[in-house]
Amino acid sequence: MNRIQDKLKENKKLLSIYFTAGYPAPDSTVKILQELEKSGVDFVEIGLPFSDPLADGPTIQASSTTSLNNGMSTEVLFEQLKDIRETVSIPLVIMGYFNPMLQYGIEAFCKKCKEIGIDGLIIPDLPVREYNELYRKTFEKYDLINVFLITPQTSEERIRFIDEISDGFIYMVSSASVTGAKTTFGDTQETYFKRIDAMQLKAPQIVGFGISNAETFQQATKYAKGAIIGSAFVKHLTENGVDKIDDFVKAIR
């Protein structure tokens, strides 16, 4: 059983945090993961930085640029994470764009993830069709869960299809936007959250994009299984470094 699947069975609303590996400092990756686990975060998305992150707003873009300038790369990240399972036991997901993975080699990338103890991948620009036809078998061979996204514009038919091929959770993008754009949720989001909830999908939904504080976390998890905070945490890292991570998490729930 994959750690993500175990976690999704727990009878609580899940809090997940995203951060960009290699940010704010080249060697802060492991320290941040340890602090997040200590402060009670349920699972973490480790961002593999990319030069051209299409789905991200300015905050995550800037952290990616700094990280790359800090010398972060796929190889460096794997090296930093090689002993991570000695100190961190919550589920770990790598979130990154497809091109760096393609250059590393998909089979080699998945194999390395398995060795380290990575549980899943979120690849915003890997289309569902290509995944299913070309990469699904490789992901399964290495016990990796691929996480698909849905948005307010995704058709019901496509949501049903995505639900059917999801082995973990569905990443529910809160609004039509890049990351870090919204700071509050209105009626549009509420209606959308309700609509998806009423579909009774088999895969639990975790809401991402636009969750920045206790209020938006509450709103997002009223219907969904959990929520992911990204840009707001990256901003916190920019302002406070790797200290006070516990304060940030405790302020959310």
Partner 1 sequence: MSYFVDENGYYGDFGGAFIPEMLYPNVKELGEQYLKVMSDPSFIEEFEALLKDYVGRPTPLYFAKRLSEKYQTNIYLKREDLNHTGAHKINNTIGQILMAQRLGKKRIIAETGAGQHGVATATVCALMGLECIVYMGEIDIARQAPNVARMKMLGATVIPALSGSRTLKDATNEAIRDWINNPVDTHYIIGSVVGPHPYPDMVARFQSVISEEIKIQLLEKEGRSNPDYVIACVGGGSNAAGAFYHYLDEESVKLIAVEAAGKGVDSGESAATSILGEEGIIHGSKTLLMQTKDGQIIEPYSISAGLDYPGVGPLHAHLCKTKRAEFIAVTDDEAMKAGLELCRLEGVIPAIESSHALAIFNVKKFKKEDIVVLNLSGRGDKDLNTYINYFGFE
Residues with catalytic function: 45, 56
Least gap, CB of 228 to partner 1 (angstroms): 15
Task: Tell whether omega for the bond before 24 is within 30 degrees of 0, i.e. cis.
Answer: yes
Tell whether residue 34 is a contact of partner 1 (CB under 8 A): no
Is 41 or 64 the residue whose CB approaches partner 1 more closely?
A: 64
Tell whether residue 99 is a contact of partner 1 (CB under 8 A): yes
SS (H, E, C) the chain: CCHHHHHHHCCCCEEEEEEECCCCCCCCHHHHHHHHHHCCCCEEEEEECCCCCCCCCHHHHHHHHHHHHCCCCHHHHHHHHCCHHHCCCCCEEEEECHHHHHHHCHHHHHHHHHHHCCCEEECCCCCHHHHHHHHHHHHHHCCCEEECEECCCCCHHHHHHHHHHCCCCEEEECCCCCCCCCCCCCHHHHHHHHHHHHCCCCCCEEEECCCCCHHHHHHHHCCCCEEEECHHHHHHHHHHCCCCHHHHHHHHC
Least gap, CB of 51 to partner 1 (angstroms): 4
Is 107 or 246 the residue whose CB approaches partner 1 more closely?
A: 107
Tell whether residue 51 is a contact of partner 1 (CB under 8 A): yes
Is 99 or 240 the residue whose CB approaches partner 1 more closely?
A: 99
Q: Which of residues 175-194 bind partner 1 (CB under 8 A)?
A: 176-178, 181
Tell whether residue 199 is a contact of partner 1 (CB under 8 A): no
Q: What is the identity of the amino acid at 146?
A: N
Tell whether residue 124 is a contact of partner 1 (CB under 8 A): yes
Tell whether residue 101 is a contact of partner 1 (CB under 8 A): yes
Least gap, CB of 38 to partner 1 (angstroms): 31
Is 135 or 248 the residue whose CB approaches partner 1 more closely?
A: 135
Tell whether residue 11 is a contact of partner 1 (CB under 8 A): no
Footprint of partner 1 (CB under 8 A):
50-55, 57-58, 61-62, 65, 68, 73-75, 97-104, 124-127, 129-130, 148-151, 153-155, 158, 173, 176-178, 181
